[in-house]
Protein backbone atom coordinates (compact mmCIF):
# COMPACT_ATOMS: atom_id res chain seq x y z
CA UNK A 1 0.00 0.00 0.00
CA UNK A 2 1.23 3.46 -0.92
CA UNK A 3 0.40 5.86 1.92
CA UNK A 4 1.16 8.88 -0.24
CA UNK A 5 -1.05 7.58 -3.03
CA UNK A 6 -3.81 6.76 -0.58
CA UNK A 7 -3.66 10.25 0.84
CA UNK A 8 -3.90 11.74 -2.67
CA UNK A 9 -6.95 9.63 -3.51
CA UNK A 10 -8.59 10.51 -0.22
CA UNK A 11 -8.00 14.22 -0.77
CA UNK A 12 -9.40 14.00 -4.30
CA UNK A 13 -12.50 12.19 -3.07
CA UNK A 14 -13.01 14.78 -0.35
CA UNK A 15 -12.68 17.60 -2.90
CA UNK A 16 -15.22 15.93 -5.18
CA UNK A 17 -17.61 15.50 -2.25
CA UNK A 18 -17.26 19.17 -1.30
CA UNK A 19 -17.86 20.22 -4.91
CA UNK A 20 -21.04 18.10 -5.04
CA UNK A 21 -22.28 19.56 -1.77
CA UNK A 22 -21.54 23.08 -2.97
CA UNK A 23 -23.41 22.45 -6.23
CA UNK A 24 -26.37 21.01 -4.34
CA UNK A 25 -26.43 23.97 -1.94
CA UNK A 26 -26.26 26.43 -4.81
CA UNK A 27 -29.10 24.67 -6.63
CA UNK A 28 -31.22 24.60 -3.47
CA UNK A 29 -30.65 28.32 -2.92
CA UNK A 30 -31.55 29.15 -6.51
CA UNK A 31 -34.72 27.03 -6.32
CA UNK A 32 -35.68 28.70 -3.04
CA UNK A 33 -35.10 32.16 -4.53
CA UNK A 34 -37.21 31.36 -7.58
CA UNK A 35 -39.98 29.85 -5.45
CA UNK A 36 -40.13 32.79 -3.06
CA UNK A 37 -40.13 35.32 -5.89
CA UNK A 38 -42.91 33.43 -7.68
CA UNK A 39 -45.04 33.00 -4.55
CA UNK A 40 -44.85 36.71 -3.76
CA UNK A 41 -46.35 37.64 -7.12
CA UNK A 42 -49.97 37.10 -6.14
CA UNK A 43 -49.98 39.21 -2.93
CA UNK A 44 -48.00 41.91 -4.72
CA UNK A 45 -50.62 42.06 -7.47
CA UNK A 46 -53.30 42.35 -4.77
CA UNK A 47 -51.49 45.29 -3.15
CA UNK A 48 -51.22 47.10 -6.48
CA UNK A 49 -54.85 46.37 -7.36
CA UNK A 50 -56.21 47.60 -4.03
CA UNK A 51 -54.15 50.79 -4.23
CA UNK A 52 -55.72 51.45 -7.63
CA UNK A 53 -59.21 50.68 -6.28
CA UNK A 54 -58.65 53.08 -3.38
CA UNK A 55 -57.63 55.83 -5.81
CA UNK A 56 -60.74 55.29 -7.92
CA UNK A 57 -63.06 55.19 -4.88
CA UNK A 58 -61.61 58.40 -3.45
CA UNK A 59 -61.94 60.23 -6.76
CA UNK A 60 -60.52 63.63 -7.65
CA UNK A 61 -61.29 65.18 -4.28
CA UNK A 62 -58.85 62.98 -2.36
CA UNK A 63 -56.82 64.67 0.35
CA UNK A 64 -53.31 65.47 -1.00
CA UNK A 65 -51.65 63.71 1.92
CA UNK A 66 -53.71 60.57 1.33
CA UNK A 67 -52.88 60.74 -2.41
CA UNK A 68 -49.18 60.98 -1.53
CA UNK A 69 -49.47 57.89 0.67
CA UNK A 70 -51.16 55.96 -2.14
CA UNK A 71 -48.49 57.05 -4.61
CA UNK A 72 -45.81 55.86 -2.20
CA UNK A 73 -47.53 52.48 -1.81
CA UNK A 74 -47.82 52.09 -5.59
CA UNK A 75 -44.16 53.04 -6.12
CA UNK A 76 -43.04 50.61 -3.43
CA UNK A 77 -45.08 47.79 -4.98
CA UNK A 78 -43.56 48.52 -8.40
CA UNK A 79 -40.06 48.55 -6.91
CA UNK A 80 -40.68 45.23 -5.16
CA UNK A 81 -41.82 43.80 -8.49
CA UNK A 82 -38.54 44.88 -10.07
CA UNK A 83 -36.56 43.29 -7.25
CA UNK A 84 -38.42 40.02 -7.72
CA UNK A 85 -37.78 40.14 -11.46
CA UNK A 86 -34.08 40.51 -10.67
CA UNK A 87 -34.11 37.57 -8.28
CA UNK A 88 -35.88 35.39 -10.82
CA UNK A 89 -33.39 36.35 -13.53
CA UNK A 90 -30.46 35.48 -11.25
CA UNK A 91 -32.09 32.14 -10.46
CA UNK A 92 -32.75 31.42 -14.16
CA UNK A 93 -29.12 32.05 -15.05
CA UNK A 94 -28.00 29.80 -12.22
CA UNK A 95 -30.22 26.94 -13.41
CA UNK A 96 -29.79 27.38 -17.16
CA UNK A 97 -28.29 24.43 -18.98
CA UNK A 98 -25.26 25.73 -20.85
CA UNK A 99 -25.03 25.00 -24.56
CA UNK A 100 -21.44 26.03 -25.34
CA UNK A 101 -20.40 26.85 -28.87
CA UNK A 102 -18.05 29.29 -30.62
CA UNK A 103 -19.43 32.82 -30.24
CA UNK A 104 -18.53 35.67 -32.61
CA UNK A 105 -18.08 38.57 -30.19
CA UNK A 106 -17.91 41.15 -32.99
CA UNK A 107 -21.31 40.09 -34.31
CA UNK A 108 -22.70 39.90 -30.77
CA UNK A 109 -21.61 43.46 -29.99
CA UNK A 110 -22.98 44.72 -33.31
CA UNK A 111 -26.38 43.09 -32.70
CA UNK A 112 -26.64 44.52 -29.18
CA UNK A 113 -25.65 48.01 -30.31
CA UNK A 114 -28.32 47.87 -33.01
CA UNK A 115 -30.94 46.85 -30.45
CA UNK A 116 -29.96 49.72 -28.15
CA UNK A 117 -29.92 52.39 -30.85
CA UNK A 118 -33.56 53.32 -30.38
CA UNK A 119 -32.96 54.43 -26.80
CA UNK A 120 -30.11 56.80 -27.68
CA UNK A 121 -32.13 59.59 -29.29
CA UNK A 122 -30.69 62.98 -28.42
CA UNK A 123 -27.39 61.54 -27.18
CA UNK A 124 -23.96 61.69 -28.72
CA UNK A 125 -22.32 58.32 -28.22
CA UNK A 126 -18.98 57.45 -29.77
CA UNK A 127 -18.43 53.69 -30.00
CA UNK A 128 -14.87 52.47 -30.32
CA UNK A 129 -15.08 48.77 -31.11
CA UNK A 130 -11.84 46.89 -31.69
CA UNK A 131 -11.78 45.37 -35.19
CA UNK A 132 -10.21 42.13 -33.97
CA UNK A 133 -12.55 40.89 -31.25
CA UNK A 134 -11.78 37.18 -30.73
CA UNK A 135 -14.14 34.23 -30.78
CA UNK A 136 -15.33 33.16 -27.35
CA UNK A 137 -16.62 29.75 -26.33
CA UNK A 138 -19.82 29.67 -24.32
CA UNK A 139 -23.60 29.78 -24.29
CA UNK A 140 -24.54 32.39 -26.88
CA UNK A 141 -27.76 33.47 -25.13
CA UNK A 142 -26.04 34.00 -21.79
CA UNK A 143 -23.02 35.74 -23.34
CA UNK A 144 -25.43 38.00 -25.21
CA UNK A 145 -26.95 38.94 -21.86
CA UNK A 146 -23.53 39.50 -20.31
CA UNK A 147 -22.34 41.86 -23.04
CA UNK A 148 -25.72 43.63 -23.12
CA UNK A 149 -25.48 44.30 -19.39
CA UNK A 150 -21.98 45.71 -19.75
CA UNK A 151 -22.97 48.04 -22.59
CA UNK A 152 -26.16 49.09 -20.82
CA UNK A 153 -24.12 49.90 -17.72
CA UNK A 154 -21.72 52.02 -19.77
CA UNK A 155 -24.58 53.87 -21.47
CA UNK A 156 -26.34 54.55 -18.19
CA UNK A 157 -23.37 56.06 -16.41
CA UNK A 158 -22.31 58.22 -19.36
CA UNK A 159 -25.80 59.66 -19.69
CA UNK A 160 -24.77 63.14 -18.54
CA UNK A 161 -21.59 63.30 -20.62
CA UNK A 162 -21.74 65.79 -23.52
CA UNK A 163 -20.08 63.06 -25.59
CA UNK A 164 -20.13 59.51 -24.26
CA UNK A 165 -17.20 57.32 -25.29
CA UNK A 166 -17.52 53.57 -24.95
CA UNK A 167 -14.60 51.34 -25.90
CA UNK A 168 -15.03 47.61 -26.46
CA UNK A 169 -11.95 45.47 -26.86
CA UNK A 170 -10.94 41.85 -26.47
CA UNK A 171 -7.99 39.53 -26.72
CA UNK A 172 -7.09 35.88 -26.54
CA UNK A 173 -5.36 34.90 -23.31
CA UNK A 174 -2.30 32.71 -22.91
CA UNK A 175 -4.38 29.74 -21.78
CA UNK A 176 -6.63 29.85 -24.84
CA UNK A 177 -9.49 31.77 -23.24
CA UNK A 178 -10.59 35.31 -23.99
CA UNK A 179 -10.79 38.63 -22.18
CA UNK A 180 -13.46 41.21 -22.97
CA UNK A 181 -13.15 44.80 -21.78
CA UNK A 182 -15.72 47.61 -21.80
CA UNK A 183 -14.42 51.06 -20.88
CA UNK A 184 -16.41 54.30 -20.59
CA UNK A 185 -15.84 57.94 -19.69
CA UNK A 186 -18.77 58.21 -17.30
CA UNK A 187 -19.16 59.03 -13.62
CA UNK A 188 -16.94 56.16 -12.46
CA UNK A 189 -17.02 54.91 -8.88
CA UNK A 190 -15.08 54.98 -5.64
CA UNK A 191 -12.53 52.12 -5.85
CA UNK A 192 -13.11 51.43 -2.16
CA UNK A 193 -16.64 50.32 -3.11
CA UNK A 194 -15.41 47.78 -5.68
CA UNK A 195 -16.68 44.75 -3.75
CA UNK A 196 -20.25 46.09 -3.83
CA UNK A 197 -20.25 46.67 -7.57
CA UNK A 198 -21.25 43.12 -8.54
CA UNK A 199 -23.58 42.36 -5.62
CA UNK A 200 -27.33 42.18 -6.34
CA UNK A 201 -29.28 45.35 -5.50
CA UNK A 202 -26.21 47.27 -4.38
CA UNK A 203 -26.21 50.82 -5.72
CA UNK A 204 -23.14 53.06 -5.71
CA UNK A 205 -25.14 56.05 -6.95
CA UNK A 206 -28.49 57.41 -5.78
CA UNK A 207 -31.73 56.26 -7.41
CA UNK A 208 -32.52 59.90 -8.22
CA UNK A 209 -29.31 60.27 -10.20
CA UNK A 210 -29.54 56.94 -12.08
CA UNK A 211 -32.48 54.59 -12.44
CA UNK A 212 -32.38 50.82 -12.00
CA UNK A 213 -32.22 48.48 -9.03
CA UNK A 214 -28.55 47.48 -9.07
CA UNK A 215 -28.92 44.10 -10.76
CA UNK A 216 -27.18 44.48 -14.15
CA UNK A 217 -23.59 43.81 -13.12
CA UNK A 218 -24.69 41.09 -10.69
CA UNK A 219 -26.28 39.30 -13.65
CA UNK A 220 -23.11 39.79 -15.69
CA UNK A 221 -21.08 38.28 -12.87
CA UNK A 222 -23.41 35.29 -12.64
CA UNK A 223 -23.04 34.61 -16.38
CA UNK A 224 -19.25 34.89 -16.19
CA UNK A 225 -19.10 32.52 -13.22
CA UNK A 226 -21.43 30.00 -14.90
CA UNK A 227 -18.81 29.78 -17.63
CA UNK A 228 -16.00 29.33 -15.13
CA UNK A 229 -14.82 32.89 -15.74
CA UNK A 230 -14.26 36.02 -13.70
CA UNK A 231 -15.29 39.67 -13.83
CA UNK A 232 -13.58 42.72 -12.35
CA UNK A 233 -13.79 46.50 -12.57
CA UNK A 234 -11.53 49.48 -12.12
CA UNK A 235 -12.32 53.17 -12.08
CA UNK A 236 -12.30 56.45 -10.23
CA UNK A 237 -14.98 58.98 -9.42
CA UNK A 238 -15.47 61.23 -12.44
CA UNK A 239 -12.97 59.29 -14.55
CA UNK A 240 -15.03 56.48 -15.97
CA UNK A 241 -15.12 52.74 -15.45
CA UNK A 242 -13.49 49.72 -17.05
CA UNK A 243 -14.97 46.24 -16.71
CA UNK A 244 -13.04 43.13 -17.72
CA UNK A 245 -14.47 39.66 -18.19
CA UNK A 246 -12.23 36.61 -18.53
CA UNK A 247 -13.68 33.44 -20.03
CA UNK A 248 -11.82 30.12 -19.98
CA UNK A 249 -10.90 28.09 -23.07
CA UNK A 250 -13.28 25.51 -24.50
CA UNK A 251 -11.56 22.57 -22.79
CA UNK A 252 -11.56 24.18 -19.29
The CATH number assigned to the domain holding 56 equals: 1.10.287.130
18 and 72 together in one domain: yes
Which of 95, 128, 149 delimits the end of a domain? 95
Higher pLDDT, 169 or 71: 169
Q: Quick check: is 48 in a domain?
A: yes
Residues in the chain: 252
Range 196-225 average pLDDT: 76
Q: Quick check: is 158 in a domain?
A: yes
Question: What are the backbone dihedrals phi and psi of residue 108, each rounded to the nearest 5 degrees, phi first?
Answer: -60, -50
Alpha-carbon dihedral 90, 138, 198, 18, rounded to 10 degrees: 80
Alpha-carbon dihedral 11, 17, 22, 28, rounded to 10 degrees: -170
45 and 138 together in one domain: no
Distances (CA, A) of 164 to 121, 145, 160, 186, 196: 13, 22, 8, 7, 24
Partners of residue 101 on adjacent β-strands = 138
- DSSP class of residue 239 equals S
Distances (CA, A) of 236 to 78, 185, 189: 32, 10, 5
**Confidence check: pLDDT of 182 > 80:** yes
Identify the pLDDT of residue 4: 54
Q: Quick check: is 252 in a domain?
A: no
Domain tally for the chain?
2
Which of 68, 95, 122 delimits the end of a domain? 95
21-25, 60-64, 221-225: segment of lowest average pLDDT? 21-25
Higher pLDDT, 209 or 126: 126
158 and 219 together in one domain: yes
116 and 198 together in one domain: yes
Classify the C-alpha dihedral 178-87-195-211 as positive or negative. Answer: positive
110 and 223 together in one domain: yes
Identify the pLDDT of residue 85: 75
120 and 202 together in one domain: yes
Specify the CATH number for the domain of residue 151.
3.30.565.10
Q: Of 199, 123, 107, give the one whose Cα is nearest residue 157.
A: 123
Alpha-carbon dihedral 109, 112, 117, 123, rounded to 10 degrees: -60
220 and 104 together in one domain: yes
55 and 142 together in one domain: no
Question: What are the backbone dihedrals phi and psi of residue 172, each rounded to the nearest 5 degrees, phi first?
Answer: -80, 140
46 and 168 together in one domain: no
Q: Which domain holds residue 230?
A: 100-247
- Residue 194 near residue 175, CB atoms below 8 Å: no
- Residue 103 near residue 141, CB atoms below 8 Å: no
Q: Quick check: is 201 in a domain?
A: yes
Identify the pLDDT of residue 190: 83
Q: Quick check: is 211 in a domain?
A: yes
**Confidence check: pLDDT of 78 > 90:** no
Which of 95, 111, 138 delimits the end of a domain? 95
Amino acid sequence: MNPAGGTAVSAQQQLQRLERELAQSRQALEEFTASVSHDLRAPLRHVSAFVQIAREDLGDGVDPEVAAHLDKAADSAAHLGQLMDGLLELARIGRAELQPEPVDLARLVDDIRHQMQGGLQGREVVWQVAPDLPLAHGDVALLHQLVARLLDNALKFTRDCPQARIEISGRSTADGGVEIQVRDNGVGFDPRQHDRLFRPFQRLHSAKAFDGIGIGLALARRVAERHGGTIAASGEVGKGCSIRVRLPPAHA
